[in-house]
Structure 1
Amino acid sequence: MKIAHLILAHSQPDLLKRLVERLTHPDADIYIHLDAKTPLQPFEAIKKLSNVYFIDYRVKVYWGSFNIVQATINGFQQIIRSGRQYGYVNLLSGQDYPLKSATEIHQYLSDNPGKAFMNALVAETHWMEALPRVELYHFNNIRFPGRFVLQGLVNKLMPKRKLPDGLILVGRSQWFTVTGDHIRYITEYWEQHPALQRFVKMTWAPDEFIFQTILYNSKYKADMVDEDLRYIDWSAGGASPKTLTMEDAEKLISSGKFYARKFDQMKDNTVMDRLDKAQNSAPSGGEV
């Protein structure tokens, strides 16, 4: 079974190269969307690696903005256009790192076909803090001075917004592992529903809900597993997860997860050395 890894990256070419090398497998292709604000030149060495493809249509990515969705869609479209049949498509950031070997990852997914490993909390009952993301207008994807003042005025005057077509809002984490069939359905649904595209452009952090929402409201709902296979530490509070260091190494190794985020090679490089050592000495097998 072939896997396509789609990586959204914007910095740290050495860390990205290291991630790509750890994901390398005879049945793996790696697609990279590099933020259009980032020059390509420092990443040239990665482009020369086997089975690595850079996404042709790059967009400028801003935190919490619609363009993260667009970057992901661009990646899905290029994967589909490749004509290759992928059993799974795995979405990662350039600051992620595997906790298991490529062989273990492929074996686990081969043993668990047809699943959508993604967080899928229903907003109205289990993720209520997400409701304002869609009920209010958000202008964070529009780059002009005073946009947030205008945003506040609009939200005072306009009624609450609702997702088109009666879609039930679900989600939580941006990162997931789903099948090639799921990706094709998501992409086709997105392309065929321009009203949804217009709506999502004025939401906040839609990358954390739009893909789950499309699948949840489809025949593929039964495939969804509320498990994203990732170790992410939110204990520090705030809008971003903790940057993982050597002090987290043993928790990462014993977590049973397949990937972790986020890492910063400038802050701590030794933690990844420890993870590599653990992977090289671990028996085969996987868990979640």
Structure 2
Amino acid sequence: MVIAYLILCHKDPDFIYRVAKKLTVNTDNEVYIHVDSKFNLEPFKNVKTLKNVYLIEEREKNYWGGFNSVKATVNLFNNALKGNAQRFIVLQGTDYPVKSNKYINDFFEKNKDIEFCKAFNLSTSKEKKNYMKVYGYHSFDLDRNEINFKALIAKFFSLINRFGVKYKKGFYIRKETYEKYDYYWGWAQIALTRQCVKYIVEFYDNNYEFNQNMKHKFPPDEIYIPTILYNSIFREKIGKLSVISEKEATNENMLNLTYFEYPTEVKLYKNIKDIDLENLKDFLFIRKVNSESKKLLEFIDEKYSKDEF
């Protein structure tokens, strides 16, 4: 099996090089990298010396919580579909493999028809912090530090959203078919089959109004793909552990194949003592590490990225 790894990043080129090298060693795996267009591409070009590693040319200005991250992901999908991959794994710039390439490839060989994209229904949610992701109005594809009309409007609605007033439809109606789409939310780290990725790209290309609507959900990169899949035939192919009930949806059991902790804020793991490494046994990747995590990464490579782990 050939795996395409799709990485969205904006900094730490040395870490991105390390990740790309590890994911491709002794395999035919492919790595496609999107570097935020607000940042200089030059420091990342060293990855082009690696086999089957590509910096894509179609780059977006990504802002935290903005729809451009969806555009960037679709750009990665389009580039990767030109290759030979049967499995497409979306990673971000602080994700790192904790298993060997053989282990990961074997895992997907055994689960070749499963889509890893856990999510739960936001449209039927009773929790304000959840339902306001879609019933409120959000706008993040801009520099919110600038003083201009759009930034002021975005800040105004951010304040209004805190009151939990449902002033937007919490679902989407496709005009062509009158189908009602509930919105679903899950983490952005997903692993999809080739057939599924082709479906998402075709949907993106043919549903302009849906895309415009999704620009004002929060955050689009964690809602866009789950919403498409949970309202499609792929719903039945999402892993058996898929969370579709809000009651079950804790930070811990919403994880797909990437481990991280999110008690009150996302935690950066820098040292071995920062994490109980036994927690990684059921996962293929760890989230929130970088070049400052050198000793931890070396320990993972030496002790935990073995085929028998």
TM-score clears 0.5: yes
Distance 2:290 2:209 in 1: 38
- 1:130 alignment partner in structure 2: 130
| 1:242 paired to 2:267 | yes
User: In the TM superposition, what whole-angstrom CA distance separates every residue of 1:185-234 from its partner, at most 9, and x where no partner exists?
Assistant: 01101111111011012222110011011011111111112251110111
Give ranges in structure 2 of 5+ residues lacking alignment. Answer: 175-179, 243-254
Distance 1:192 1:44, change over 3 A: same
Question: Residue 160 of structure 1: SS of its match in structure 2?
Answer: coil
Moved more, 39-48 or 141-150: 141-150
| 1:231 paired to 2:240 | no
Distance 2:49 2:41 in 1: 13
The alpha-carbon deviation at position 150 of structure 1 amounts to: 2.1
Query: Which of 171, 185, 207 is the equivalent residue of 2:221?
Result: 207
Number of residues paired by the alignment?
278
The amino acid of 1:42's aligned partner reads: P
> Is the contact between residue 123 and residue 134 of structure 2 (CA under 8 Å) also seen in structure 1?
no
- 1:265 alignment partner in structure 2: 291
Give ranges in structure 1 of 5+ residues lacking alignment. Answer: none
1:119-198 → structure 2 map (5 Å cutoff)? 119-124=118-123, 128=127, 129-143=129-143, 145-151=148-154, 152=156, 159-161=167-169, 162-165=171-174, 166-198=180-212
User: In the TM superposition, what whole-angstrom CA distance separates every residue of 1:137-185 from its partner, at most 9, and x where no partner exists?
Assistant: 2222144624354243697999423323321211220111110111000
- 2:63 alignment partner in structure 1: 62
User: In the TM superposition, what whole-angstrom CA distance separates every residue of 1:23-53 from its partner, at most 9, and x where no partner exists?
Assistant: 1142301100011011111112112211011
Q: TM-score, normalised by structure 2?
A: 0.83
Question: Residue 113 of structure 1: SS of its match in structure 2?
Answer: coil
1:4-19 → structure 2 map (5 Å cutoff)? 4-19=4-19
- 1:277 alignment partner in structure 2: 302
Identity over aligned residues, as a percent?
Answer: 27
Distance 1:61 1:153 in 2: 20
> Is the contact between residue 63 and residue 142 of structure 2 (CA under 8 Å) also seen in structure 1?
no
> Is the contact between residue 120 and residue 224 of structure 1 (CA under 8 Å) also seen in structure 2?
no
> Is the contact between residue 258 and residue 283 of structure 2 (CA under 8 Å) also seen in structure 1?
yes
- 2:245 alignment partner in structure 1: none
The amino acid of 1:5's aligned partner reads: Y
Distance 1:148 1:61 in 2: 16
